[in-house]
Amino acid sequence: MILSDGTIRRLLAEGRLVVEPIEPSQVQPASVDVRLGDEFLVFRNHTAEVIDPYDRRADLMEKVAVAAGDAFVLHPGEFVLGTTLEAIGLPDDLVARVEGKSSLGRLGLLIHATAGFVDPGWTRGQITLELSNVATLPIKLWPGMRIGQLSFHTLDAPAERPYGHPDLGSKYVGQQGPVASQYQANTRPS
């Protein structure tokens, strides 16, 4: 079941659901709008010849902070990591879905490639966005702009091992800012 605006507001007021900072106008009929943060991780194409998920080089990406009043320009075919301005916290019986804004999708902006799911138990971390420009012109991304939306779904029962449980090896607990892939923490197949 997808939560309605009234239920979202109630859970926010109770503190069971966390979206901080938040303005009342961000709550939509069945979602919460999220805004773009001011930090991005970009690939160093000029020094890296390949990406190996099991052997991620420390110099594969560099962080770019956008000054107040400036925009980040995402060129056609470019892929970068961004972040939500908001930190999110979910109880053990809710999951969230990250979706793009229709108006931005119509301009060619995609905000996630595959990581559109936020697990139950996610603890007060920002959401890393996988930003792609599939348009034929550059797109200006302004920190603070509404970049996406979160819809919330109830589980049939609270998760027995929510995100961050010691048995899971959760890699992104409490992340702040855009966080690069931690795939190298997985065991390589033999």
Q: Tell me the catalytic residues.
A: 130
Which residues pair with residue 80 across a beta bridge? Answer: 42, 131
Annotated binding site for dCTP: 101-106, 119, 128-130, 149, 163, 171, 175
- What gap in Å lies between CA 160 and CA 126, rounded to an integer? 23
Answer for the pair 82, 147: CB distance below 8 angstroms, yes or no: yes
SS3 for 89-104, per residue? ECCCCEEEEEEECHHH
Answer for the pair 63, 39: CB distance below 8 angstroms, yes or no: yes
Q: Report the chain's terminal Cα–Cα distance, integer Å.
A: 41
CA distances from 8 to 13, 27, 79 (A): 9, 8, 32
CA distances from 69 to 83, 105, 140, 142 (A): 17, 23, 12, 8
Among 22, 181, 162, 1, residue whose Cα is nearest residue 97: 1
Eight-class DSSP state of 36:
B
Annotated binding site: 101-106, 119, 128-130, 149, 163, 171, 175
